[in-house]
Structures are given as C-alpha cells and as structure tokens.
Structure 1
C-alpha cells in the first residue's frame, strides 16, 4: 500500500474529548491542530496508508464524521512558479516558459489565485499537465492525491453551501445541474 499525505480542515465544539474521539475513530495517523478550550476550526495532517488516494481521503472523512466533527474541506495544494520549479527540479525560468507558452506544448493551467507579483496554481492541475506532457517525473501517488484532494474539497464545500438553501431550492438546483 501507498502512504498519502493530505490535510483535512474541520470544526468541532470545545472539549478535551474531541481529540480522544478523533483518535478512537481512526485518526491515529494524523497530527491534529485544535484548541479544545475554545473549540472551532482545526486541522488534521495525515500520512495515511491506503490502497488509493480516494480511500485515504474518504476513510479520513468518514472517521471525522464518526467522531462528530464537521468537515470543512481538504487542503488543496496551491503553488507558485518557484514552488513548481522546486517540485519538478527545473529552474523558475523553465517554468515561466511553460506558463507563457514560449516552451512546451502550451495550455498551461491558469492560476487559481492570480496576482500581479506571485500567482498561485493548483498543484493538482499542474501535476496532471506535467505528467500528460512528459515534462516531469512525478510520483503517481502524488498526482493522485493532489487530484483527489481538489475534488474532495470542492465536494465538501458545495455540500456545506447547499445547506443554506431550502429543500425546494436544493431540488431545483439538483435538477438544473444533473
């Protein structure tokens, strides 16, 4: 089995018991950052052994729910051009050439957080683009966990936002996007 690294963002009521409940539910492979005195938001950083990235993330979500915490999201990995260069063993100039289309096949993923000085890119999109175009030797597990984290985060956020709708509004939205 492969070990997958990822983070879950959660919210829980105050109380020392939360940490114990998370551990008992299965988060014994996570480092949990949470203030039990005040409660609120926390983070769990996992190094989870599983047959797939999907199984690693899904089991962690189920275990968190079993322990009674609200799952807010899965950390999506955003990287700068410098971060992409470091992860691929390339120079920042080479990465800049991919982004601008001066080198490589073109159609580099758009930044998720465009900024004038340092834009941030989705590592899931960038890693899939790199592998598809044969421009970097990345671990299949790293590409898989990046992709699953991006999808799981979007799904958790969408479900949380849908709770703000009435049942009739949810049905109408479900029909529209089905």
Structure 2
C-alpha cells in the first residue's frame, strides 16, 4: 500500500490530546501545537488518499479536536519549482505562457509578490501537458486534500447558516 503525505489543521488543546491521539492511531504523524490548536503532519499508509485523510480526521475528532483544514494544496511558485524539480525561471515561463502547453492554472490567492496556486490544479496541468511526470500518489493526494479541505470548510460554514439556507447548500453539495 502507498504512503500519503498530508497535514491536518486542528483546533483544540493539543497538549492535553497528545496521548489520546497516539492511542487513536497518530503514530504516523508529527503533531505540534498548544492549548488553542496546531497541526498534524502525516505519512500514512492506506488504500487511497481519501481513506488516509478521512481516518486521520475521524481519529482527531474522536479525541475531541476539531479539524479545520487539510493542507498540502496551496503552493508558491518556488514550491512548484521544488516539487517539479525545475528552476523558478522555468515555472515563471509556464505561468507567462512562454513555455509548456499554455493555460497554466490561475492562482487561488492572487498576490503581487507571492501568489498561491492549487497544487492539485498545477500537478494536473504538469501531468496532462507532459511537462513533468508527477507520481500518481502525489497527484491523488493533492486532489484528495483539495476536495476534503473544501468539504471541511463547507461543513464549518453550514453551522452559521439558518436552517432553510443550510438545506439549500447541502442540496447543492449533494
């Protein structure tokens, strides 16, 4: 079975939960934080990325922590270069359309100095365009992190909606 690398953002007292997390199965995670929350970075063996991430979420929630995000998805141009094994100049050429198949993904968080891109979008673009061969497990993990993170954020947002609006959003997601 493959190993999936991802990170969960947690809210709750990490210090008080460390023993319970380990007992629940976090022996494959590096956990850090304090009484307000923190993160857990995983290198988890599982049948799929979804299975790996969901099992980690279930274990955290069973220990009384709230999972507020799954990261591994938003990356800078420098991180794209590092993951792709290319130079920053090569990545900038892809972004500007001077190299590669064109149509480089737009940043999710546009900023003048350090825009953030979706690794799921970028890795798909790299793989589909034949620009860089991406390990299928890495590609699967990036997509799973992106989808599960969106689901977690939606779940948290639903709590604040009136019942009639919540039902509409749930119908949209279903």
Q: Same-fold call, TM > 0.5?
A: yes
Shift, 1:76, TM fit: 3.6
Q: In 2, Cα distance between the equivalents of 1:134 and 1:111?
A: 21
TM value normalised by structure 2:
0.91
Q: Is the 8 A contact 1:8 1:71 kept in 2?
A: yes
Asked whether 1:25 is paired with 2:21, we answer no
**What residue in structure 2 maps to residue 114 of structure 1?**
110
How many residues matched?
174
In structure 2, the CA distance between the partners of 1:67 and 1:133, relative to structure 1 (3 Å rule), is: same
SS of the residue 1:4 aligns to: strand
Find out whether 1:4 has 2:4 as its counterpart.
yes
Scaled by the length of structure 1, what TM-score is found? Answer: 0.89
Q: Whole-Å Cα distance in 1 between the matches of residues 114 and 14 of structure 2? A: 37
Q: Does 1:77 find its partner at 2:77?
A: no
Of the structure 1 ranges 148-157 and 19-28, higher mean CA displacement relative to structure 2 is found in 19-28
Q: Deviations over 1:8-37 (max 9, x none)?
A: 011114763x111111111111111122xx
Alignment of 1:1-178 (within 5 A): 1-13=1-13, 16=16, 18-35=17-34, 39-175=35-171
Structure 2 vs 1, CA of residues 177 and 55 (structure 1 numbering), >3 Å: closer, same or farther?
closer
1:4–1:177 distance in 2 versus 1, CA, 3 Å? closer
Determine if contact 1:110/1:121 at 8 Å carries over to the other structure. Answer: yes
Identify if the C-alpha distance between structure 1 residues 63 and 177 changes in structure 2 by more than 3 Å, giving closer, same or farther.
closer
Q: 1:139 to 1:172 in 2, by over 3 A?
A: closer
SS at 1:137 equivalent: coil
CA RMSD of superposed structures (Å): 1.7
Larger C-alpha radius of gyration, 1 or 2?
Answer: 1
Seen in structure 2, the aligned counterparts of structure 1 residues 176 and 147 have a Cα distance that, compared at 3 Å, is closer
Q: Retained in 2: the 8 A contact 1:74–1:149?
A: yes
Give CA-to-partner distance per residue, 1:136-170, whole Å, 9 cap, x none: 02211111111111111111011001000122221
Q: What runs of 5+ residues in structure 1 fail to find an aligned partner? A: none
1:94-127 CA deviation, whole Å, 9 max, x = no partner? 2222111122221110011212223221111100
